[in-house]
Amino acid sequence: MVVTDALIPAERIEQAIYLIRKQRVMLDEDLAGLYCVETKVLVQAVKRNIERFHPDFMFQLTKTEFEILRSHYVTSSGWGGRRYPPYAFTEQGVAMLSSVLRSPRAIAVNIEVIRAFVRLRRMLAENSALARRLGELERKYDSQFKLVFDAIKQLMAPPLKPKRPLGFGR
């Protein structure tokens, strides 16, 4: 079976990348959904190969972190029945998952997830370089351009994520 990129939308992957403990990570449940396996199957595979998953590749959220995450994203349908806080996988941890989950789907998902992490890293680097250059220009020119610089800064700000509507959609 060949898995095409069309089955794994980039937006779905990018929306599943969180910033936790100053690291960009994906949660076990989101990864399991992408791999089309149950979360417990993914966690069992990781635990059987735990020597591959160093603390900088994967960590389990504390109960406090989990509660903050759940309240911040106002969702309980996916995470509501969990007995234990989820595991978070860094980019390296996701790459290591490909050696544990060996299906064609897992390979395709891993490729797309790594690409999403790279895109995110590139966007952040480009944005910080642009902000640095704008700061240099701002110092160089007088206050007559302050309004222009303020407008550019507003355009550079990341867009606010729209809140998900509550209730059932049609």
What domains are there in the chain, each with its CATH number?
5-128 (3.10.260)
Q: What is the pLDDT of residue 5?
A: 45
Model pTM score: 0.64
- Please list the ranges in the chain whose pLDDT falls under 70: 1-7, 73-81, 137-149, 158-170
Q: What is the pLDDT of residue 4?
A: 45
Separation of alpha carbons 161 and 141, rounded Å: 34
Q: What is the pLDDT of residue 121?
A: 80
Q: What is the pLDDT of residue 78?
A: 55
Q: Say if residues 100 and 41 touch (Cβ distance below 8 Å).
A: no
Local structure of 24: helix, strand or coil: strand
Q: What is the pLDDT of residue 168?
A: 63
Q: What is the pLDDT of residue 48?
A: 93
